[in-house]
Homo-oligomer: A and B are copies of this chain.
């Protein structure tokens, strides 16, 4: 580890996006006009058709949207059909897919106390109908995943929301959606996107954990998974890689939103990797090389849910779009080199990382056997067993050197 120039002659991961990378973007990301709580829009509206062409040109594979991103809220059927038709035409021209669709139950004032969990029952019914209509569109466009971000499902004041009643209504709503989807023969899976707060003071199902738990109580729970967003978990200062690993462990990582964030503050939606770089590295390492045999642990879209900063014009928008994909590919390249490095393999072994995959009981060993094994307790020398170091700092340093491209 000297001062010699670092050359990765063995690196083979290309950093130019291909369709195999399954990179997708929300229409609302590059199309964000940069209106924020303290400022007016800094960018003109973006034609969805232009978004399709531009993203395709950058190497993206998919585009996603909320119903209202494509069709203004309250538009009549004719307008709606026309807008959908020209969007589909653009999809056809570019080959871009629509892997995911989601419903906006948060912008209009009617949803100010929530959609599926509004205290107002008529709003809940309306929200259900709006979501169902959008589910039809999702099926029509071949979307595999229907994301549910309940940004308005929450409260600012504890007395104002009966949380258990709200969870009852949330379940009722999702059960109905799933039943409808099944009845129609749709092959769509649902992905709940957790967020701790903003726009509500406290949002229901604030983390990946809460959403996973909730899913266990749904009628069609097999159809439901999570859509974790990097920045949302980091808003609670939680380790996002840990959260996503738990989602994978439950078999519930149905979709993922990649972006960047600087800890507990407002939702920044930075470019992926532009916030906590080491966490982005470990996440890509998990997704790409955490599966069986060192292959991918996740096969779905790599979806960027970010906002081009308000300081940028459209040149900056497209630069930032490209930056998301490049960050992912660069980190994938580094993770590949990290996993392939014999020193890393040695360090992992020295840290006993692989030993954690060995069951605590031996094959065939029973509880009685364990209790009878005096080496496990009676004759166990805890002081001696506590003495050796795990070498975790060295391992982490090796990981960072790969991130830095300095491990060659």
Residues of B within 8 A of A204 (CB): 242
Q: Mark A121-155, 1 if CB is under 8 A from B, else 0.
A: 11111101110110000000000000000011001
Q: Mark A78-120, 1 if CB is under 8 A from B, else 0.
A: 0000000000000000000000000000111111110011111
Interface size bracket, A side? 35 or more
Q: Which residue of B lies closest to A10 (CB)?
A: B5
Residues of B within 8 A of A382 (CB): 73-74, 108-110, 126
Residues of B within 8 A of A7 (CB): 5-7
Within 8 A of B (CB), among A263-317: 263-268, 270-271, 273-279, 282, 285, 290, 308-316
The segment from A19-27, A46-54, A56-64, A319-327 found at the interface with B is A319-327
Contact of A239 with B158 at beta-carbon distance under 8 Å, contacts A108-B386, A172-B360 already known? yes
For the complex, is A9 an interface residue (Cβ under 8 Å from B)? yes
For the complex, is A39 an interface residue (Cβ under 8 Å from B)? yes
Contact of A172 with B359 at beta-carbon distance under 8 Å, contacts A249-B167, A309-B156, A316-B394 already known? yes
Q: Mark A204-240, 1 if CB is under 8 A from B, else 0.
A: 1111111111111100000000000000000111110
- Judge whether A357 and B165 touch: CB under 8 Å: yes
- Judge whether B213 and A248 touch: CB under 8 Å: no
Give this chain's copy count: 4
For the complex, is A385 an interface residue (Cβ under 8 Å from B)? yes
Q: Mark A377-408, 1 if CB is under 8 A from B, else 0.
A: 10010110111111111111111110111100
For the complex, is A75 an interface residue (Cβ under 8 Å from B)? no
Q: Which residue of B lies closest to A41 (CB)?
A: B109
- Judge whether A326 and B5 touch: CB under 8 Å: no
Residues of B within 8 A of A239 (CB): 158, 201-202, 206, 262
Residues of B within 8 A of A125 (CB): 360, 370, 373, 376-377, 380
Q: Which residue of B lies closest to A226 (CB)?
A: B213
Complex Cα spacing A121 to B38, Å: 22
Chain B: minimal CB distance from A147 (Å) = 15
Contact of A356 with B128 at beta-carbon distance under 8 Å, contacts A246-B210, A277-B403, A386-B108 already known? no
Residues of B within 8 A of A276 (CB): 276-278
- Judge whether B406 and A357 touch: CB under 8 Å: no
For the complex, is A30 an interface residue (Cβ under 8 Å from B)? no
Complex Cα spacing A330 to B209, Å: 33
Complex Cα spacing A384 to B69, Å: 22
Which of B36, B120, B356 is A385 in contact with, Cβ under 8 Å? B120
12 contacts between A and B (CB under 8 A): A3-B11, A111-B386, A122-B375, A122-B385, A125-B377, A129-B371, A164-B245, A167-B246, A196-B238, A202-B242, A210-B213, A274-B278
Shortest 7 CB-CB contacts between residues of A and residues of B: A405-B405, A209-B210, A313-B389, A209-B209, A109-B386, A212-B213, A158-B282
